[in-house]
Amino acid sequence: MSDVRKVAIVTGASRGLGEGIVNGFRARGYGVVATSRSIQPSTDPDLVTVSGDIGDPETGKRLVAAALEKFGRIDTLVNNAGIFIGKAFTDYTEEDYRLKLKTNLDGFFFTTQAVVPVMLEQGTGHIVQITASTAEFAHSASPAFIAMLTKGGMNSATKSLAIEYATRGIRVNAVAPGVIRTPMHDPKKIDQAAGFHPMNKVGEVADIVRAVLYLEDAVFSTGEILHVDGGLIAGR
Ligand SMILES: NC(=O)c1ccc[n+]([C@@H]2O[C@H](COP(=O)([O-])OP(=O)(O)OC[C@H]3O[C@@H](n4cnc5c(N)ncnc54)[C@H](OP(=O)(O)O)[C@@H]3O)[C@@H](O)[C@H]2O)c1
């Protein structure tokens, strides 16, 4: 790492994977801007919190303004905010559909679009999406049409952005988790998902943090979808 103090923006940062990713970047000495709807102010002077709905285009602009005002640069964006609504296809309501697309896709689109001009001006940057291994692995026991639509789209869009910016200093990657122990899941039931993965256990927040930080260091990797899923992507 050079002498320049690096800066990361992390969305969906109030709990679960986002909270772990914030802690991972802070442990490396990064300045961090963390956001979610319910996020609270921090006593850490190098952790700025911005509350807002990630599907609102203004939130991305406010994140960029906060990062530039406090730290003067943006090295990394982690598009982590997301929700999961698993249902039989015909049970999805219009509200489910709109909410999921707003949170998962509008958030990714508007936040990334706000950050890219800053990275282009710097000539360097790294954008990482948290997608889902299930986007490539339809399972008869857990229909997840909207997850596959949004996370599969984010995987493809990761490659699109990686190629668009490959010669201009911005790398774009994704981490595709299997089932990870976070508040998204009922703690009493999550271990029942162990058998979903060939390794017969669920993942932990630290597994995803490690993958994000690996991609951060992997300076010759762009357009990569890094699966952290106990072997699910390899087969059953
Ligand atoms: N855990 C898993 O098994 C798993 C597997 C595959 C993929 N993922 C993906 O990993 C990411 C993180 O999941 P997680 O397990 O950490 O979930 P989580 O524990 O439910 O946390 C979700 C985070 O997103 C924020 N969020 C939700 N809706 C938002 C909105 N409209 N605007 C702004 N922030 C919003 C929440 O904060 P507020 O409520 O304060 O807004 C929270 O910080 C998601 O994209 C998820 O799809 C998770």
pLDDT score recorded for residue 20: 99
Tokens of 204: 């932990």
Q: Is 38 among the domain residues?
A: yes
Q: Is 1 among the domain residues?
A: no
Note down the domain range covering 83: 7-234
For ligand 1, atom 30, name the residue with the nearest CA. Answer: 53
Residue 218 reports pLDDT greater than 80: yes
pLDDT tens column, 178-203 = 999 999 999 999 999 999 999 999 99
Q: Ligand 1 pocket, 84 CB below 6 A?
A: yes
Distance in angstroms (rounded) separating the CA atoms of residues 173 and 212? 9
Q: Is 27 among the domain residues?
A: yes
Q: Is 2 among the domain residues?
A: no
The mean per-residue pLDDT over the stretch 89-105 comes to 97
The mean per-residue pLDDT over the stretch 207-228 comes to 98
Q: How many helices (H) and strands (E) does the chain have?
A: 6, 7
Q: Is 67 among the domain residues?
A: yes
Domains identified in the chain, total number: 1
The rounded mean pLDDT for the chain is 96
Reported as a pLDDT band with limits 50, 70 and 90, residue 236 is confident
pLDDT score recorded for residue 5: 93
- CATH number of residue 47's parent domain: 3.40.50.720
Considering only residues 235 and 158, tell me which one the structure prediction assigns the higher pLDDT.
158
Q: Is 137 among the domain residues?
A: yes
Pick the atom of ligand 1 nearest to 15's CA.
43
Ligand 1, from 182, 205, 233: best to mutate by most atoms within 8 Å of Cβ? Answer: 182
Q: In degrees rounded to 5, what are phi and psi of residue 129?
A: -95, 145
Q: What is the pTM of this model?
A: 0.98
Q: Is 68 among the domain residues?
A: yes
